[in-house]
Chain A
Amino acid sequence: MKKVVSGILALSLSASMLAACSSDKASSGQATNVGKDGRVQLTALITKHPLTEDVSKMKWLQDVEKKAGVDIKWQQVTADWGQKKGTLLASGDIPDLIIGPNAVTDADYVQYNGLFEDLSKDMKSLPNVEKMFTEHPETKQIATQLDGNIYGLPKYQRFWPATATRMFINQKWLDKLGLKMPTNWDELYNVLVAFKKDDPNGNGQQDEIPMDFAPPGTISGFFEPTMLLGSEGITLTDASGNGYFVENGKVKNFVTDDRFKKLVEFLHKCYAAGLINKEVFTQDYTKFQSVARGSGDAAKVGFTWGWEVTDRFGNQLAPQYTSMPQIKESADSTAKLSWSYDYNGLNYGANMITMSAKTQNKAAALKFINALYDTKVSMQVLFGSLGTNIADNGDGSYKVLPPADSKMDPGTWKWTSTWADNGPMYISDNLKLTLGTDMQSVGKQTEPLAPVLNAVDKSKDVFPGMFIKYSKDDNSKLSLNDTNLNTLVLAKYSQWITKGGIENDWNTYLNNVKKAGLEDNLKIMQKYYDKYMSSQK
């Protein structure tokens, strides 16, 4: 036993020595700071998309590193960043650069005061960023914290459509049953009933799902029926996950709105008639997607929402579907039609890149950051390296190439071969770039919605959430209340759709929503909204 004990001691001693040695090695490597061919060595962490290949293999990135004179040791995070981040930041043990969409949040900057470099002092070394700020002043607004400092730099990617959600209906089924494209809720209801009864996919079974939508994780979201609130004149912003929207300069929440009640009643009518997928609230997103792929040529879903038609239904069934314009609430409704306005959410992003205040080679790190915001580099950040992913037409214009592997779709290819939407970038408005087929068809499928989206009054009916910075206290109050609200409303919403009973519950429910803190939140948000609007004048 004595032997064992001394063995343990020896073992643990040698362990701690080993540990000490290895950490010495690491820190001595960092102290010299010399990387490949005498370049400055930096450390960086990127929260990349799981599909994305090893970033050190990306040709455009190698070129940028070389040009900026840096050699970056990458730490690549694909999952559980939230869990990792807490310990990383709280221990102060951070790499020189942290890259990724909102990888470090505004709240983190407040919380970990002093950990990050205030880049507003370094603007001289960041001419490309400066250029973005002058050409698109709103990007500066996204970047500037309440104290006037800039810790994280935003992105501007320009090409994305004004909304993430499009509405699809099976045109083949309509034609077969001799039906017209519905233009209001009542017509939609009748069409759905026909879809259910008349076996439009012709397989002799009543297996059609007339209506399906994405399983809600929050009160509202992309590809969800809250889009139909637009029929009653409500303009959602970035799908209004917590229900907030702006109407005539006033911040409101639709969960206490009579128009929301009306929509829920309509959805319950559909559900009760068996027109909505029975599993709509319990399926996961994967199932939601695979069900719509039907089997062979037999489609299964009649009416639904999605990003893009091939993404939603697969290549084989995609031709059967067509994207729809927004519909009216009833034939004689006079409400101004609207939709979810997501342009800001899709084209801007906050805190894409952050620099440690302790970086030993600030100049080199800044040079690298600046290089990323060069439009030609940014284009490659988004779509991949010149040559393999983008062709240079020679006349100053460029073209996104189709995937090398023909089985792959352009979206997947982009995500595999570059940082894509997760990178910091500035796609200048005068860049001439022909997009890939996926983005082109998204554009085309958005056309039916264009009149409605164009008519949205951006100054009075869109909540500028992207551009507003809350104080620490307000922010935490908002999010605590929203957590409560979300649980309360989501549960009721799904229950009312599947089982009904909204009429009886409504008053108690309004009371509970009040107790959960909605009024406080509206007050806070109105205050910031007003401040923002007056700064815009």
Chain B
Amino acid sequence: MAFSNPETKKISGNMPSISGAQLSRKSSKLSSLKRDYQLWIMIMPAIAVIIIFNYIPMYGIQLAFRDFDFTKGLTGGQWRGFYYFEQFINNYQFKDLMTNTVVISLASIILGFPAPIILALIINQVIWKRSKKTLQTTVYLPHFISTVVMVGLLNVLLSPNTGIVGLLMKHIGLGDIDLLGSTKAFVPVYVISDIWQHCGWNSIIYLAALSSVDPQLYDSAKIDGASRWQTIRYVDLPAIVPTMIILFILSMGNVLNTGFEKVFLMQNALNLPVSEVIATYVYKIGIISNQFSYSAAIGLFNTLINFVFLLGMNFIAKRFSNISLW
């Protein structure tokens, strides 16, 4: 005890200043709490559901590092560390799976991201009210076609022997390209059909953002003698830029996500070299034997990479546009 005294003294000597700082911090916290209490009330329900439904089950993540042992519960299996991660990385197909996944999702982002923006700007320029409404309603409809039917439609319409697109291709001299069964056509068909299906739906958010543009801006643009093109450039675009940036950051958090169902249904023997992606691989190993830990590890691996991309993109956006997710 004796030699601990000086230390105690030292601390107690510093006490006043610490407590002083604490006090003032505390009071400022208190006052901001007091000032913000309504805000806290408004956000509490959301925090509560996120904690209950998203954070409580997160203990399940350890499954990626453990064996699944039913008798000992989800968290009682033997600790395997990075065994399952290594199993995936050393897997024979690892390289192909990664390449295919990244190619498909990057193509989807690069082509699929601008499409709804362009569509929204075009719709916004249509000056006949009725046609505008018809166009808007039509483009949003394909979103409701389920994936099974969507792929069925592709099979019927793109069939080289009997499909209308297949026949059109023949007419313009591209009959040799089998849209359904070639490794070259798979990614374009996947991405373009995705744009076809979801572009209208995704443009809704931009249309909403465009609707908040102050009409006075258009008027003054007109007075300044701006052409229609310039109005788009200087009035419409700036109004949707924040939304664009936010959505782009979020889409970068999907670099290793491809829709499972559509890829799986579009797979056939001929396009397999480019259509086997992480999601379909996980499905295949999951369904034939209970590879809980292995699929959990692959899932976590995926998530981590996605998250890193999101962090990176968010950083860049913050740096250059001052717009960020948090």
Q: In the complex they form, do A and B come into direct contact, defined as C-beta atoms under 8 angstroms apart?
A: yes
Q: Which A residues are within 8 Å of any B CB, using their own CB?
A: 1-2, 5, 8, 82, 89-90, 107-108, 111-115, 215-216, 278-279, 281-284, 287, 475-476, 479-480, 482-484, 487-488, 490-491, 493-495, 498, 515-517
Q: Tell whether, in the assembled complex, residue A479 and residue B288 are in contact, meaning their CB atoms are under 8 Å apart.
A: yes
Complex partner residue of B269 from A111, A483, A493, A517, CB under 8 angstroms: A493
B70 touches A215 (CB 8 A): no
Indicate whether B47 reaches chain A with its CB closer than 8 angstroms.
no
Interface string of B74-108 (1 = CB under 8 A from A): 10000000000000000111000000000000000
* 8 A-B pairs with C-beta separation under 8 A: A5-B45, A90-B70, A113-B70, A278-B160, A279-B159, A281-B268, A281-B270, A491-B270
The smallest C-beta distance from A446 to any residue of chain B, in angstroms, reads 28
Residues of A within 8 A of B70 (CB): 89-90, 111-115
Complex Cα spacing A234 to B93, Å: 29
Residues of A within 8 A of B285 (CB): 479-480, 483
The answer to whether A216 and B68 touch across the interface, beta carbons within 8 angstroms, is no
Instruction: Indicate whether B8 reaches chain A with its CB closer than 8 angstroms.
Output: no
Query: Smallest CB–CB gap between A514 and chain B, Å?
Result: 10
Mask, B14-34, CB within 8 Å of A = 1, is: 000000000000000000000
Distance of B170 from chain A, by nearest CB (Å): 12
**Which residues from A are CB-within-8-Å of B273?**
491, 495
Who on chain A is nearest to B291 by CB? Answer: A476
CA distance A516 to B180 in the complex (A): 27
Query: In the bound complex, what is the Cα–Cα distance between A498 and B152 (angstroms)?
Result: 23
Report how far A90 CA is from B287 CA in the complex, Å.
15
Binding site for A on B (CB under 8 A): 38, 41-42, 45, 68, 70-71, 74, 91-93, 152, 155, 159-161, 178, 180-181, 268-270, 272-273, 276, 281, 284-285, 287-291, 294
B93 adjacent to A487 (CB under 8 Å): yes
Closest to B163 in A: A279
Q: Please, how many angstroms separate the alpha-carbon atoms of A111 and B286 in the complex?
A: 14
The A/B interface has a contact count, at CB < 8 Å, of 94
Distance between Cα atoms of A89 and B68 in the complex (Å)? 13
B286–chain A nearest beta-carbon distance, Å: 8
What's the minimum C-beta distance from A477 to chain B, rounded to whole angstroms? 9
Alpha-carbon gap, A368 to B121, bound state (A): 67
Alpha-carbon distance between A89 and B285 when the two chains are bound, in angstroms: 18
Which of B272, B288, B289 lies at the interface centre, i.e. has the most chain A CB atoms within 10 A of its CB?
B289
A1 engages B276 (CB within 8 Å): no
Nearest to B68 among chain A residues (CB) is: A111
**A443 → chain B, closest Cβ, in Å?**
32
CB-based contact B270/A113 at 8 Å: no
B290 near A495 with CB under 8 A, answer no
Q: Are B269 and A1 in contact (CB under 8 A)?
A: no
| Bound: A108/B269 CA distance, A | 30
Q: Which B residues are CB-close (under 8 A) to A89?
A: 70
Taking a contact as CB atoms under 8 Å apart, the answer to whether A279 and B181 are in contact is yes
A113 close to B71 (CB less than 8 A): yes
- Closest Cβ of chain A to B28, distance in Å, is 26
Q: A108-B290, A480-B291 are in contact. Are A278 and B178 (CB under 8 A)?
A: yes
Is the Cβ of A114 less than 8 Å from the Cβ of B71? yes
| B93 contact from A278, A287, A484, Cβ within 8 A | A484
* A487:B180 contact, CB within 8 angstroms: no
A475 touches B289 (CB 8 A): yes
A281 with B269: CB separation less than 8 A: yes
Given contacts A281-B270, A487-B93, A491-B273, 17 further A-B contacts (CB under 8 A): A5-B41, A82-B287, A108-B290, A111-B290, A113-B71, A216-B269, A281-B181, A282-B159, A480-B91, A480-B294, A482-B288, A483-B288, A487-B276, A488-B92, A491-B269, A491-B272, A516-B92
Contact B92 A517 (CB under 8 A): yes
Cβ contact within 8 Å between B92 and A284? no
Q: Taking the nearest CB of chain A, how far is it from the CB of B240, in angstroms? A: 31
Cα-based distance from A498 to B181 in the complex (angstroms)? 10
Nearest 3 pairs of A and B residues by beta carbon: A494-B269, A491-B272, A282-B180
Q: Which of B159, B284, B290 contacts A483 (CB 8 A)?
A: B284
Give A90 to B74 CA distance when docked, in angstroms. Answer: 9
Closest B residue to A115 by beta carbon equals B70
A304 to B41, CA, bound (A): 70
Q: A215-B269, A479-B289, A491-B272 are in contact. Are A484 and B92 (CB under 8 A)?
A: yes
Cα-based distance from A22 to B8 in the complex (angstroms)? 60
Given contacts A114-B71, A279-B160, A279-B161, contact A287 B155 (CB under 8 A): yes
Q: How far is the CB of B260 from chain A (nearest CB, A)?
A: 12
A483 to B289, CA, bound (A): 11
**Given A483-B281, A484-B91: A282 and B178 within 8 A (CB)?**
yes
Residues in B whose Cβ lies below 8 Å from that of A216: 269
Q: What's the nearest-Cβ distance from chain A to residue B235, in Å?
A: 35
Q: How far is the CA of A284 from the CA of B288 in the complex (A)?
A: 22
Q: Would A1 and B93 be within 8 Å (CB), given that A278-B160, A282-B270, A479-B289 are in contact?
A: no
Residues of the A chain whose Cβ atoms lie less than 8 Å from the Cβ of B281: 483
> Within the complex, what minimum Cβ distance (angstroms) separates A253 from chain B?
16
CB distance from B77 to the nearest CB of A (A): 11
- B270 touches which one: A475, A498, A516 (CB < 8 A)? A498
Task: Compute how far the CA of A187 lies from the CA of B45 in the bound complex, rounded to whole angstroms.
Answer: 76
> CA A532 – CA B145 in complex, angstroms?
51
- A475-B290 Cα distance, complex, nearest whole Å: 10
Hey, which chain B residues are within 8 Å of A8, CB to CB?
Answer: 45
Expressed in whole angstroms, the minimum distance between the Cβ of B294 and any Cβ of chain A is 8
Contact A515 B45 (CB under 8 A): no
| Cβ of A198 to closest chain B Cβ, rounded Å | 20
- Which residues of A are found within 8 Å of B269, using beta-carbon distances? 215-216, 281, 490-491, 493-494
CB-CB under 8 A from A2, the residues of chain B are: 41
Question: How many Å lie between the Cα of A260 and that of B192 in the bound state?
Answer: 38
B-side contacts of A108, CB under 8 Å? 290
Q: Which residues of B contact A112 (CB under 8 A)?
A: 70
- Name the residue on A nearest B280 (C-beta): A487
Are A282 and B155 within 8 A (Cβ)? yes
CA of A89 to CA of B71 in the docked complex: distance in angstroms?
A: 12
Known: A282-B155, A483-B284, A516-B92. A215 touches B268 (CB 8 A): yes
Q: Which residues of A contact B42 (CB under 8 A)?
A: 1
Instruction: Decide: B289 and A490 in contact? CB cutoff 8 A.
Output: no
A122 to B14, CA, bound (A): 77
> Are A495 and B270 also in contact (CB < 8 A) when A5-B45, A480-B285, A483-B281 are?
yes
Question: What is the bound-complex CA distance between A297 and B291, given in angstroms?
Answer: 51
Q: Known contacts A5-B41, A5-B45: does B270 contact A494 (CB below 8 Å)?
A: yes
Instruction: Write the chain A residue with the least CB distance to B152.
Output: A284
Q: Name the residue in A283, A484, A491 with the highest tally of chain B Cβ atoms < 10 Å from its Cβ.
A: A491
Closest-CB distance, B38 to chain A (whole angstroms): 7
What separation, in Å, do the CA atoms of A115 and B178 have in the docked complex?
A: 50
* Closest Cβ–Cβ distance, residue A78 to chain B (whole Å): 15
Complex contacts, A107 vs chain B, CB 8 Å? 289-290
Complex Cα distance A111/B291, Å?
10
Would you call B38 and A1 a contact (CB within 8 A)? yes
CB distance from B319 to the nearest CB of A (A): 37
Do residues A282 and B92 form an inter-chain contact, with CB atoms below 8 A? no
With both chains docked as a complex, state the minimum distance between the C-beta of A214 and any C-beta of chain B, in angstroms.
Answer: 11
Cβ contacts under 8 Å, B68 to chain A: 111
B291 touches A282 (CB 8 A): no
- Name the residue on B nearest A475 (C-beta): B289
Looking across the interface, which residue of chain A has its beta carbon closest to that of B158?
A282
Centre residue among B159, B178, B288 by max chain A CB count within 10 A:
B288
CB-CB nearest in chain B for A513? B92
Complex Cα distance, B293 from A111, in Å, reads: 12
Residues of B within 8 A of A115 (CB): 70
Q: A491 CA to B270 CA in the complex, in Å?
A: 6
Chain B residues lying within 8 Å of A491, measured Cβ to Cβ, are 269-270, 272-273
